[in-house]
Amino acid sequence: MAQGMQHKGLMRQSWRWFGPQDPVSLDHVRQAGAHEIVSALHHFKPGQVWTAEAVGERKAMIEQHNKDRTPLHWTIVESIPIPDDVRRLGKGAKESIQGWIESMQAVAAHDIKTICYNFMPVVDWCRTDIDWPLPTGATAMRFDADRFAAFDLFILERPNAAKDYDAAQLERAKALYATFSQADIDTLIVNIASALPGSTTDPLSIPAFRARLETYHHIDAPRLRQHLVEFLEAVTPVAESLGVTLTLHPDDPPRPLFGLPRIASTAADYQAIFDAVKSPANGMCFCTGSLGVRADNDLVAMVKQFAERIHFVHLRATLREADGSFFESDHLDGDVDMVGVVKALMDVNQTRSVEDRIPFRPDHGHRMLDDLNKTVTPGYAGIGRLKGLAELRGIMRAVEQLS
């Protein structure tokens, strides 16, 4: 291997950090081996405009922390929340779109040039269980299709929800709901309606949830996609002028929920978005966990198809079940061909400059070891992600040596 080419194909190692209240400290991130920070101003509510001063304070907090140690850099924002009215009104939500542009400008003023976002209506990423027991004694995040149906049908009591489920699932959901204690009901309300960590949607009570769903009664997939296109048509020219790349996160899970459309679930979905807005600022966050929930998504083929559009990657694996349930598996297990995906991404890196290599973060992780006895951020415990990062780093080094 030529001296100047060593490690060129490796992806940039990053880590999601939720700010000063995160149980995982910046020194923990250093010790895990990541050097780039993925963060956001989570104390700003969706729709609240970020200021350059607030971004600068967070950047200094990260980059000035223990400066005598391994340097850390805040390079990726995940996420600037897109206000709900943008999803419902598209270009009609002029004030909200302008506010989002101002937040982007505040980020770019501090030389942060990658912004991840999503366009999921009402609910962001969705799980029914945040501490599902594994045979090892660790716990994982899980989406249980029958528990979700029981919530939709008998707790939320969404009008006409029954038509979204077949007879067998309706019976299973009814029987399951009959076993629920009030604590079970309260837990589902928190997990589904009250916004998981990093969510960019509002936490909602059950009445507020029903009311928010009603505002989408006229929104189907084509209209929601058009509203996304209108948003991008407004923001990408500004992003280009700032040197910022926007990366759209896939739907999680990648299927309709609560009768709401999802428009970033498949290769065809992304192709339609890229065809409609050809700006180089219109990019993709390639999340293997979200996309991997669908058996019809060929992840390696998608890396090759969207090579020029992938500017941020979340690496995790899920294990699908026949009834539509899934859980977060070990990073190298489950239904994701992680070795094939990482190799394909490293091949993309070989076509780019070292500075433009793809950043990735180990996404989610099992709660394990000492983290079982600590307060942790659901899905973002330190030790499980450390394990995932080590495994992913091992794949990259092995692929590099064999190339």
Q: What confidence tens digit (pLDDT) does each residue in 14-46 have?
A: 999 999 999 999 999 999 999 999 999 999 998
In DSSP terms, 248 is beta-bridged to: 117, 284
Structure tokens at 129: 């269980």
| pLDDT for 1 | 35
364 in catalytic set: yes
Cβ count near 19 (within 10 Å):
13
What are the tens digits of pLDDT across the range 337-347? 999 999 999 99
What is the pTM (predicted TM-score) of this model?
0.95
Q: Does 110 qualify as catalytic in the annotation?
A: no
Cβ pair 50, 42 in contact under 8 A: no
DSSP states of 272-320: HHHHH---TTEEEEEEHHHHTTSTT--HHHHHHHTTTTEEEEEE--EEE
CATH numbers and ranges of domains, the chain: 3-124+200-402 (3.20.20.150)
- The reply to whether 363 belongs to the active site is yes
What is the radius of gyration, based on Cα positions, of the chain? 21
Q: Exactly one of 116, 117, 252, 314 is catalytic; which is it?
A: 314
- The answer to whether 75 and 14 have CB atoms below 8 angstroms apart is yes
The active-site residue out of 249, 311, 331, 366 is: 249
- Can you tell me the distance from the alpha carbon of 80 to that of 90, in angstroms, rounded to the nearest whole number? 17
Choosing from 124, 363, 366, 371, the catalytic residue is 363
Tell me whether residue 165 is one of the annotated catalytic residues.
no
Contacts of 348 (CB under 8 A, 6+ apart): 303, 307, 310, 358
Mean of the per-residue pLDDT values of the chain = 94
Catalytic residue (choose from 287, 330, 331, 371): 287
Average pLDDT, integer, range 148-169: 97
Instruction: Please state which of the ranges 61-75, 143-157, 190-204, 233-247 shows the lowest mean pLDDT.
Output: 190-204
Which of the following is catalytic: 227, 311, 331, 364?
Answer: 364
Residue with the two structure tokens 């058009």:
226
Residue 170 has pLDDT above 90, yes or no: yes
Confidence label for 5 from pLDDT (cuts 50, 70 and 90): very low
Question: What dihedral angle (degrees, nearest 10) is formed by the CA atoms of 290, 295, 301, 306?
Answer: -30
> Would you call 227 a catalytic residue per the annotation?
no
**Sign of the CA dihedral running 174, 176, 181, 183:** negative
Q: Does 2 score more than 50 pLDDT?
A: no
Please return the burial class of 178, using the count of CB atoms within 10 Å of its CB with bins 0-12, 13-18 and 19+.
exposed
Contact predicate 198/16, CB 8 Å: yes
Confidence band, pLDDT 50/70/90 cuts, at residue 6: low
3-state secondary structure of 217: coil
Section 193-201 average pLDDT: 65
